[in-house]
Structure 1
Amino acid sequence: MIFNVIQLFLLAISAISDIRKKEISIWLVISMAGISLIDGVLSLVLHKKTVTELVISLIPGVLLVVLSVLSRQSIGYGDGLITMAIGVAFGISKLFAGLAIALFASGVMSIFLIVIRKAKRNDTFPFIPFILAGMVVSMFA
């Protein structure tokens, strides 16, 4: 649980950076990955998770990085890297729930901004704040 709280704190810092600069510090991503690595090793040693579970929890992040490449960064690399970095600490079920909430919320926000003419269809906006919101809900719901 402590690892998840630390991850949420770092995710909040990343969300602020994503909103302000539309970029994410690689040091935050590395810190998150390091925390997930420590959590993963402890989970293996304490027999709480299997190697398969840890590897599976990386898949959503890998898929987002691939989508980033295929979409010419409509989805930023940082979104995928952060998803990969937090995957092990949160686990696949919480990660999927958090990402589903994030995708739904960002879709609703996009439609709202287009309807009130504050954005166009091709505009981009930060996704990490939505990941943060989704992960908070999946953690405490």
Structure 2
Amino acid sequence: MWEIKIWNTIFFLFQAACSVYDIRIRAVPRWLLLLGGALTAAARIAGIGEGTWVYIWGAFVGIGFLIVSRCTKEALGYADSWMIFLLGMYLGIWKLVSALSFSFLAAGIWSLGKVVLKKKGRKEVIPFLPFLTAGYLGGIVW
């Protein structure tokens, strides 16, 4: 049990670092995303979690988001989609769905608040990785 908590903490710190980059410069360095891929692979090799298919289906969801990023010319950024892919491989499909639900709900509430308070327009973009980090926390608790 403690191994899972250690892995969850490491992955959270990785996501927090990505979120800081996303907030400050609206981009995440490739080396940091590759580090996340290595962390995810190490967790899978270590055998943390459930059966293999749960993680494969989670990865497929991430691949779907990468395709959406490509087709929409990065309306949803590649770093966001790559993080969803990593979350799918790390959490598995069911916890990923939970994390994405929390993420989209939080981003929607934040955006609605910004529009209502007239601080942002409807076409403004927001960094999504901080919401994915919050959704990750919700997903591992759920």
User: TM-score if structure 2 supplies the norm length?
Assistant: 0.89
1:2-17 alignment runs, 5 A limit: 2-17=6-21
Q: Is the 8 A contact 2:55 2:91 kept in 1?
A: no
Show CA shifts across 1:63-119 (max 9, x none). Answer: 221111222211101001111123222222221111111011101111111111111
Please, which of 37, 42, 45 is the counterpart of residue 41 of structure 1? Answer: 45
Q: Is the 8 A contact 1:4 1:90 kept in 2?
A: no
The residue aligned with 1:93 is 94
The alignment-based identity, stated in percent, is 24
Q: Which runs of 5+ in 2 are unaligned?
A: none
1:33-112 alignment runs, 5 A limit: 33-43=37-47, 48-50=50-52, 52-112=53-113
Q: How many residues matched?
A: 138
85 and 47 in structure 1: CA distance in 2 versus 1, 3 angstrom threshold: closer
RMSD: 1.7
Amino acid at match of 1:49: G
12 and 47 in structure 1: CA distance in 2 versus 1, 3 angstrom threshold: closer
- 1:42 Cα deviation (Å)? 2.5
Q: Is the 8 A contact 2:37 2:86 kept in 1?
A: yes
The residue aligned with 1:140 is 141
The residue aligned with 1:115 is 116
Amino acid at match of 1:20: R
Whole-angstrom distance in 2 between the partners of 1:71 and 1:127? 16
User: TM-score if structure 1 supplies the norm length?
Assistant: 0.89
